[in-house]
Structures are given as C-alpha cells and as structure tokens.
Structure 1
C-alpha cells in the first residue's frame, strides 16, 4: 500500500512557519507525508491527484470556521472516504456542531498538542479505506431496484430513488448500515449508538452519546434537504429509529 498523504488547508500560508497551527515537521517526524494547500482549488487538485485505490488521504482544515465548513462539505461530496480533521479557534459547542454537520470526522482546537493531533490522525488513518466497520456485518447485496434507496461506493454514498447522491461520514455510514441491515429496518437507540461508537472507536462517557446520535441524525436530515430529498427516517418515541423507505 502506498504511504498515506496528509493535506493541510489554510486560507493563507503564513510567512513564519511557527505561526501555523499545524507543525509540519512534527507530523512528518511521526511518518505523515504532508502537503500544505493555500486555497480550495489547490486542495481539491491535490486530493484528486493522490486519490488512488491503494492510498489513504487525510485532510487537516486549519482555516477559519466558515471556510472549514464549506471546504469539508465540498470535499465530502467529491471524496466520501477522506479522513477530515477540522481545527477550531475555540471549543465552543456551536462551532463544533457546525463542523460536524459539514462532514468532518473529528475536531480539535488550533492550540491542541502535537500528541493529540497525531493520535487523532492515526485513528482516522485506521478507519480510512476500510470497507465495513468490524461490528457491522454487511450482507451481499443484489443490484438495487429502480425506485429504491441504496448505498454505493462501499457504502460511503447513499443514493435516493431519484438518483440523488448523498455522501456519508464515518458515523452516518455506520448508522445507516445498522438500520438497513436490521429486520424491518428498526434499531433501538442503544444499538445505533454502539454501531456509531464502534465505527469511531469512541471512548466518550455514556451520557454524551445520546446527544451525539441526535446531532448525527439532524446533520443527516439537513444534508438530504440540501439535495432536495426527504430522508425516510422515523423516530420511534423513546426507543430508536426506523428507516421507512424502500430498500
């Protein structure tokens, strides 16, 4: 397998390398091959250039939050299986929610230690390119019928009956696989949370997990709305979720 590439996006490359929130030398010392990109055009060109079947690509977004959100959403549409880390100026919850809704896999503040950034990158690297999360069995699927929802591109893209393609993040992919592989496409909250946490190798405390699932569902609905598609997902009161579309 080719060595992984880490693309680093900043809206402007500082003259003084020390002013950047991303220390290239520190990442390269841990074995990451890095390429710094000054604008969205350069970033997408590099992602396209290195998008080979046997190469994993990670992206660090270190611009302002609004630019990070736009870039994450655009990249996720073009390259659903990228690993995306967004750096934020603060740990403000509303900012983090915006980033997650835009499709990033993980976040940290711009003053995060090299140890934390490297740990996040290694965890993303372990996930990128995997076909199916270990805890979620994937049955052999037949060719999708006309008028049905189905998952494409190793389940990283959800396709509506109208042919609209909705790229999925790691958590959204695990959530949808758990629903679509379940009898009657109904799954309780606890099982959905377990599937998402398994995909992320999540170690957070239990009282944070229900809120995380709600954010994921809200993000997925909003993403479908952006594609003018209504997600056929029903909330079963105080129990779980049900996918009610044809699959």
Structure 2
C-alpha cells in the first residue's frame, strides 16, 4: 500500500453494510487536491493512521466512515480515544437525532450517505482549512497591525496587502473595529450595513431591534464573501463568529492613525 501524504482523506466502509462512497464523491475529493486512501478493513487503516501520527505534524487528516449508524458510532468512540486530532466524518442515514448521536460519539459531523459530491468536497476542504496548525509569532512587533485606510475604503494586512472594500464591507468593518474589544452584535452590524439606517417601528434603538434569521444569514453571506476575497490573496482574515451573538476582529488594528487594541 502506498504511503499516505498530506492532505489525505481516509475512507473505510464497514463490511457487509452495502454502503460506500461513489466514484463521483471520490473524484470531488481528488479535484480539491486531496489524496484519497481507501481501506476495506480496520487493521490496515489503523496501521496507516499510526504511521501518519508518528511522522506527520501537519493536517491530521480526515476519515470518512460509511455504514449503519450504530456500527459507526462504536468505531468512532474507539478512534477518537486513539486519535484526538483526526477529523472524523460519518456518512449514513441522516436525521437530527442521528447527528446528535454521531457528535456524542466523537465524530465531527454526519452527512447523509446520499450527500452530493460538491457537499462532501466542500466539507473536507472546510475541515482542512480549520485544522491546519497555527503558527504562533512571538514578540509581535508593534508595526504588525492591520490598518483600515483611505477613510475606511481599504483594509491593509500586516504583510502590506491592501484590499478594497465595498460600501457594505466598509460599514461592517467601521462598526466592528470601533466597538470595544472589536466585537459587535448581529443587530449592531446589520444596522451599520443597512442602507435605510433602520429603526424599529416604535423607535426602539436599532441595537436592540430583533433581526430575523434571514437578515442574520445575509450578514453571514457578507462575511463568507469577505473571507474568500482575502483567501484568494493567501491572507487569513481574522474575523471570528461568536455563536448566536455577533462577530469579532481577533487582531490589533489601526483606524487611520488611531490604534484599536
């Protein structure tokens, strides 16, 4: 068997369960630059994981398991104890209760066995992006800051890369960076990018207005587009989502000549 190399997706189908990834699903993974290693038994998979764990300090890899849920959860608990950093994705019959069972067993997620190749490929890439090791920089120089320039129409990275902003993106960053700790709620950010400068009908301040899930999703789309814009130039945008609350900018930044810490 060939030696696995990063980034790698491992696949094991539980025997006698009649479920496995399709050729199109495998191809979607390969098209995104992953090496795919397929196993038909647990023993050689375990050997490959042991070799990888001993020699690889990069991405820990993603393991896709297919089969019936009860068999998969038992195997997942065993694997999670031995390989705490390994990404584990189960593909089986999907329901909310099945997803809960999968997460409780130690899996990262559960997709339906009928998941489209595009969905599987996007999930694998998302795991790869989130699990890459972070390089810590000691004694960061005071000049290694992000800067909001040109009256808010451009964001400059510490490496000197300058990104032009749309009007909505400009309003988003201006709101986020001017709030304490560079954190703002969904409502505050939505108010900032809303062209109407909306207030609730009873003149309740917009910061207290209850926005719909569709409006919060609209904000999420804006953030996703921002991340892709910066990723295209090999730059990690330090925007972090605060679950069910808002967003934060997790790096120091200057607004013009004003430093935000």
**Per the shorter chain, which TM-score range?**
0.3 to 0.5
Larger Rg: 2
TM-score of the superposed pair, with normalisation by structure 2: 0.45
TM-score by length of structure 1 reads 0.47
